[in-house]
Structure 1
Amino acid sequence: MKVYKSARDALEGVLFEGMTVMSGGFGLCGIPENLIPALRDSGVKGLTVISNNCGIDDFGLGILLHTRQIRKMISSYVGENATFERQYLAGELEIEFSPQGTLAERIRAGGAGIPGFYTKTGVGTVVAEGKEHKVFDGETYILETGLKADLAMVKAWKGDAEGNLVYRHAARNFNPMMAMAGKVTVAEVEELVPVGSLDHDQIHTPGIFVQRIIQGPTYQKRIEKRTVRGD
């Protein structure tokens, strides 16, 4: 049975000190809003977290910084979080920056069983330092490694008891490839529907990649920066 009653129940037995966790979302869009607090409440520490960014100070992955549960972040952008900045500058938090497209491809590669690939992105910058360089057709490329995780936490719009998932609009972002790259994938959905009610052609993540699923009780769907047009 893949369906669990709560985020806490869904994470029980899969967490351990020093584990690697993938967390879906882009900014605050499509993040596992209920699983992140459950991870915080577990108290597990020494985490390596793979995510596009680290939320904001009081929401999303940012709440794990206040409890100092994150040891290392692998991400592409961290500019919205003052706590992140303070911990990094104080040497309390390790960062591995990866260009956004490269990060997405590293996660996809990990889920597809591809150990590494070559890309031109980052050549000649600090991103390329210490990485293998190779020339193809007169152009220099660097070797990037695939990424996998002990746990992938993803958020979808709809899902069924078999773990089939459908994402909505921009919330699709990093979630589908992370669902494939976790040894254990836990999904939270806004709506849990009966098996067979999803259009097979519209399923983005097949249930074979999802081990546990919950229906989230609430969603804030917050926006980091609201920009409105003046009168």
Structure 2
Amino acid sequence: MNKVCATAAEAVHDIADGSSLAVGGFGLSGVPDVVIGALYEQGATGLSVVSNNCGVDGAGLGILLAAHRIDRVTGSYVGENKEFARQYLSGELEVELVPQGTLAERLRAGGCGIPAFYTPAGVGTQIAEGGLPWRYAPGGGTAVASPPKETRTFGGRTYVLEEGITTDYALVRAWRGDHHGNLVFRRAAANFNPLTAMAGRITVAEVEELVAPGTLDPEHVHVPGVFVQRVVVLTPEQAAAKKIEKRTVRV
């Protein structure tokens, strides 16, 4: 039951080229930076990533993106990652844009063993009708377009069928965790992390504080240890190294 790995490198050692990853975080909040850094050093490439956004230039998943180690992204928000936008528009990167709530539910559904569900989000748009450019051609135009999705009417309203998401691995960051993999997230750093942790067949969680089994109040556990296979304990310096995407001051 002791799921603690000696190092982050040990936790990601078997992530192979072409693996699919679900990665937690929103902007720079709750991003598993240490595990992502270990994966960068490990060298896996050709990765398919599912994440709300792909980090920012020089941080988070942006590190793997800049090294051309990611081939495909399923997400909701490009944000201010200029390299992400450049690779997508130049045809170097395949991108499936998904409504944010739909992405969250697809991750949750995958973790719960639900293969698909119906939602009204995207009805009447290219999300449902197809034709969104997943990959641009280098010389312009669309090389790969999204396919149309099944729709059905319930109670006089049209819904689109969305598939649940499962991935080979999931990478998350938690505030507290125990040796059994039970996780607690703090405030906004929860974001996509609990859903991401559920979607991975092998989930790696970096934790800012490791506590003994039985310490965590079961009512406060956000992700039960059954969903987590590996735990990486951060040093105090790693736990405190939290970047700010946009510093705003008031004069």
Which amino acid in 2 is paired with 1:97? L
- Residue correspondence of structure 1 range 58-69 to structure 2 within 5 A: 58-69=58-69
Which amino acid in 2 is paired with 1:10? A
Partner residue in 2 for 1:182: 200
- Residue 27 of structure 1: how far off its partner (Å): 0.7
Instruction: Return the TM-score normalized by structure 1.
Output: 0.97
- Residue correspondence of structure 1 range 101-180 to structure 2 within 5 A: 101-128=101-128, 129=130, 130-180=148-198
**Deviates further, 123-132 or 73-82:** 123-132
- Residue 79 of structure 1: how far off its partner (Å): 2.0
**Deviates further, 124-133 or 186-195:** 124-133
- Residue 227 of structure 1: how far off its partner (Å): 2.1
Q: After superposition, what is the alpha-carbon deviation per residue over 1:41-61, rounded to whole angstroms, capped at 9, x for unaligned?
A: 111111110000011111000
The alignment status of 1:225 with 2:243, answered yes or no, reads no
Q: 2:219 and 2:196 mapped to 1: Cα distance?
A: 20
Q: 1:86 and 1:74 mapped to 2: Cα distance?
A: 16
Q: 2:95 and 2:158 mapped to 1: Cα distance?
A: 25
- Residue 68 of structure 1: how far off its partner (Å): 0.5
Partner residue in 2 for 1:11: 12
Unpaired segments ≥5 residues, structure 1? none
Q: Secondary structure at the match of 1:36?
A: helix
Unpaired segments ≥5 residues, structure 2? 131-147
Q: Secondary structure at the match of 1:157?
A: strand
Q: Secondary structure at the match of 1:186?
A: strand
Partner residue in 2 for 1:210: 228
Q: 1:216 and 1:127 mapped to 2: Cα distance?
A: 40
**Deviates further, 120-129 or 97-106:** 120-129
Q: What is the RMSD computed on CA atoms of the aligned residues?
A: 1.0
Which amino acid in 2 is paired with 1:158? R
Partner residue in 2 for 1:42: 42
- Residue 152 of structure 1: how far off its partner (Å): 0.4
Q: 2:234 and 2:185 mapped to 1: Cα distance?
A: 14
- Residue 134 of structure 1: how far off its partner (Å): 0.9
Q: 2:110 and 2:73 mapped to 1: Cα distance?
A: 17
- Residue 199 of structure 1: how far off its partner (Å): 1.2
Percent identity of paired positions between Structure 1 and Structure 2: 56
Partner residue in 1 for 2:210: 192
Q: Secondary structure at the match of 2:5?
A: coil
Q: 2:100 and 2:196 mapped to 1: Cα distance?
A: 14
Q: 1:213 and 1:47 mapped to 2: Cα distance?
A: 22
Which amino acid in 1 is paired with 2:11? A
Q: Secondary structure at the match of 1:34?
A: helix
The alignment status of 1:201 with 2:219, answered yes or no, reads yes
Aligned residues: 229
Q: After superposition, what is the alpha-carbon deviation per residue over 1:168-195, rounded to whole angstroms, capped at 9, x for unaligned?
A: 0011111111111111001000001111
